[in-house]
Structure 1
Amino acid sequence: MDESVQIDEHDANELRAGEMLREARKAEGLDIAQVAAETRIPQRHLVAIESSDYGKLPSRTYAVGFSRSYARLLGLDETVVLARLREELAEGAGEGQQRHDKFEPGDPARVPSRGLVWFSMLAAVLLIAGAFTFYRTYFSPAITPPPLTADAVAPAGPVAQQPTGAATAQPVANGPVVFTSLMDGTWVKFYDGDGKRLYEAQMAKGQSYTIPTDAKDPKVWTGRPYALEITVGGQQVPKLSEDDVVVKDISVTPQALLAREQAAPDTQAAATAPNIPQSAQGAN
């Protein structure tokens, strides 16, 4: 679905915008739940768009914005879809919409997520708490720290050094691969190298799935890679991505996941290795 799909001119004249999207979705083998997970558009709004019942949408703005995101996901030519949609709205198909609203969002899926809103609120609280602490420390002379006691004074003598080079647990190369959802509504699909579906669901928070050990070249497809915790042989490995992107056809064998984990340290070590002149190497 990376390349734009051209719509036949005859079909564009005969089909409504919602019908174009519905037929393209069925051709891709997707259901409404999958599209909702990928675009973050409520299923009831997708159903309203496919049935050309635009009166069930909040406004004309949402009809255009949601249809654009839907077309992009399916790889359709969004200019054709939106042109047909605007014709329908002008003809009265979207009766009851707020026609005075001229703003059309480029992509409703890009609105800030709930997690980002909570993070911003937490940051604001921490900032206020830090400012209050600064004021009490530097502008309130009556408030002083308690005097040190004999028990609070650090004992004299050398400080014991922590042992270095201790062995740390490493993931087992042939251990089981387990994916655990860190939030509700995480859509994910696992399939083997032949395209056979192994597991597909909208996982709840804390729900896990173990890749079958006999699966042939298992792969994953999800729109929330940052919401999936991965372990190999009981040991945690890096996520597929920390960004809000769609990942598809990513190998999830133990070897592939461990190779992704080892790539980052090796790259960092090469970047920070000292540059030893060749004359000095010859002296050794």
Structure 2
Amino acid sequence: MVTSTPESALRALSHAAEAVGLDAKRASLIRDGNNVMYALPGGIVARIGSPGGSRSAEREVAVSRWLNAEGVSATRTIETLPQGLCVDDRPVTWWKLLPSHRPATPAELGGLLRRLHQLAPPQHLKLPSHDPFADIGCRVRDAIWLDSDDRIWLTDHEESLRQSYAALPSPTGHDVIHGDAWQGNVAVLDDGHAVLLDLEAVSLGRHAWDLVQIAVDYTDFDRLTKDAYDGFVNAYGGFDLTHTSEFRLLADIQELRWLAFSLSKASSDARVAQECQHRLACLRGQLPRPWTWTAI
């Protein structure tokens, strides 16, 4: 099985670019995350998915086309290039490089999420059901440097959250959600136009999931002022997730997801491993809120 390494991403980029007649020699790294993104000459962005991610990449391309057709601005594919070529089981898709932009404000994010959540699910595109626990268990198991006490606690904590989540009342409808909604996943162009990014987690689920990241930024991390959070709530239509009974559960799941992501990056980076220990201490109640977590 191919692992997700910088070397495998570069190899996928090189072979895919050659196959479609592009030159990847001057490619520059944009982001190294679950997906790796490179900028190429000519305003092209190459997005290299995780091993085994072909279906997700195909869906992301289709979601982009659907959202733009529905009037919700989203990052756009390059239609003249073939999409989804796989190299070592890693899919490569091609996207338009955005012009000068900045991350969204909380209010801008809230307004765009409101429009997204008003869409009826597409009939021609089968969106998956959202799973907030996706990848958590495997990331805990793969973090071989964790001591047994921490691993057992994380496994038990996830199982407890799963049981509580399963016991939540069913939502009124499983509607379209972004799945990873935060300010950095909305690009605001110089003309004020907001564009939705990172579409791989678009799915059918609880609208509340798209609201929880901003909510915990305000309640648990003190990253937002009250005015900024109120701006988000008002732009979304006045609904404040922190006043609901499900907020604490969704917040705990989201924070576990953030820890699990850092676990996946810690084996080769001592700084990230130290950050993981800090996050774990927070979740285990050893440090009081508001917390300060360093971005990975």
Same fold (TM over 0.5): no
TM-score, scaled to structure 1: 0.22
Query: Which structure has the larger Rg?
Result: 1
- The structure showing larger relative contact order (alpha-carbon pairs under 8 Å, at least 6 residues apart) is 2
TM (normalized to structure 2)? 0.22
